[in-house]
Structure 1
Amino acid sequence: MRKIVRIRSPWLVLLACLPMLLPVSASHAEGMTIADTVYKLPLEEGVSTDDAVDSMLLRANALNFKLVARLPLSQELEAMGVPTKRIEIFQFCDARIAAQMIAENLDFSAYLPCRITLIEDQAGKPWLVTLDLNKVIQMADLPPALMEMATKVRDTMNEIMAAGASGDL
């Protein structure tokens, strides 16, 4: 039986939202912006956010990627009186790969678990957003076996997002 962790603490919600609440400068080190660090897909026309969620969860399960947490952030914000569009964060993990990456370098723990955010922009258009793992992989300087695992994680996350964006069950 799968256990889904729901975060109920307003402080944890605020902490999770902090990066979204802080102003981001258009220019960062080496000319990179925050948008350069993420991979995002819009939901295809006719795909509801609920369909996208179902598709992502089914695809993750089929790919043996465990859903380890789910944060319905917009519900938490609304409970605090903060009106918002839909924001929901899904956290996935392959524990065996995670353990090997951390054994190589404990800094990888900062990237665990892998997250996909379902979010509606100001116009109400739904998106799926995650960390651009290509950027992390390029910087990682991994031995070949771990490079293969990192690439598998990237491909799995991209496949989960593609299923969600297309509503492919």
Structure 2
Amino acid sequence: MKKMLVSLMLALGLMVAAQSSAMEMDKETMRQMVDYSIQKWKLDDGVTVQDAVDSMQLRANLLNFMMVADLPLSEQVEAMGEEDVPYMRILAFCDALIANEMVKYDIIFSGFLPCRIAVVEDEEGQGWITTMNMDMMLHAVDLSPELEPLAQHVRDVIYEIVEAGVSGDF
């Protein structure tokens, strides 16, 4: 019994090591997947991060998308004692009725909710907007004929919100 337990433990250890090794070998592919899953836009010249946030909030409101979260992360980091923290804020937008339909169809969609848009500054003070590559997600899943236009609508609205932020368009 003891020998069998040792053999089992050894086999499990080898499986974990092999899996870990496979993940290490494929790290570049995994990084590419992450890079493809996120889109980023540089703010236009003269557009501040606050202009971008204000523009996105206004555009979302005009498009009937609710801002359901506002996470001022750089303010939180400063409150914890850090100094000279680059701007970092995450806004979350949602159409709750569409979100409900998507989650009823497949619970996996709850992991994508709500739609997040980050406004950040890099080390040089350049403002950027990032969000999930919604085209990639839409092409990776099979949606019902009823849900596909709803998902495309969400994508279009989120990208329109981002465009308003990039240009500072009120």
Shift of 1:82: 2.6
Provide the secondary structure at the position in 1 that maps to 2:64: coil
Match of 1:95 in 2: 96
Q: Following superposition of structure 1 onto structure 2, how do residues 57-96 of structure 1 map, counting pairs within 5 Å?
A: 57-83=57-83, 84-96=85-97
Q: Which amino acid aligns with 1:125?
A: Q
Query: How far apart, in 2, do the equivalents of 1:33 and 1:151 lie?
Result: 21
Query: How far apart, in 2, do the equivalents of 1:103 and 1:47 lie?
Result: 39
Query: How far apart, in 1, do the equivalents of 2:79 and 2:58 lie?
Result: 29
Length-normalised TM-score, structure 1: 0.81
Match of 1:56 in 2: 56
Structure 2: stretches of 5+ with no match in the other structure: 1-25
Query: How far apart, in 2, do the equivalents of 1:61 and 1:129 lie?
Result: 20
Shift of 1:26: 5.9
Q: Following superposition of structure 1 onto structure 2, how do residues 9-48 of structure 1 map, counting pairs within 5 Å?
A: 27-29=28-30, 32-48=32-48
Query: How far apart, in 2, do the equivalents of 1:26 and 1:153 lie?
Result: 31
Q: How many residues align?
A: 144
Q: Which amino acid aligns with 1:154?
A: R
**Residues 75-128 of structure 1: CA distance to partner in whole angstroms, max 9, x if unpaired?**
001111233200000000000000000010011000000000000012211001
CA RMSD of aligned residues (A): 1.4
Which structure shows the higher helix fraction? 2
Q: Which amino acid aligns with 2:63?
A: L
Match of 1:143 in 2: 144
Query: How far apart, in 2, do the equivalents of 1:61 and 1:153 lie?
Result: 14
Query: How far apart, in 2, do the equivalents of 1:155 and 1:116 lie?
Result: 14
8 A Cα contact 1:26 1:33, kept in partner: no
Identity of aligned residues (%): 43
Query: How far apart, in 1, do the equivalents of 2:145 and 2:47 lie?
Result: 38
Match of 2:166 in 1: 165
Q: Which amino acid aligns with 2:41?
A: L
Tell me whether 1:152 sits opposite 2:156 in the alignment.
no
Provide the secondary structure at the position in 1 that maps to 2:45: coil
Query: How far apart, in 2, do the equivalents of 1:33 and 1:127 lie?
Result: 20
Match of 1:113 in 2: 114
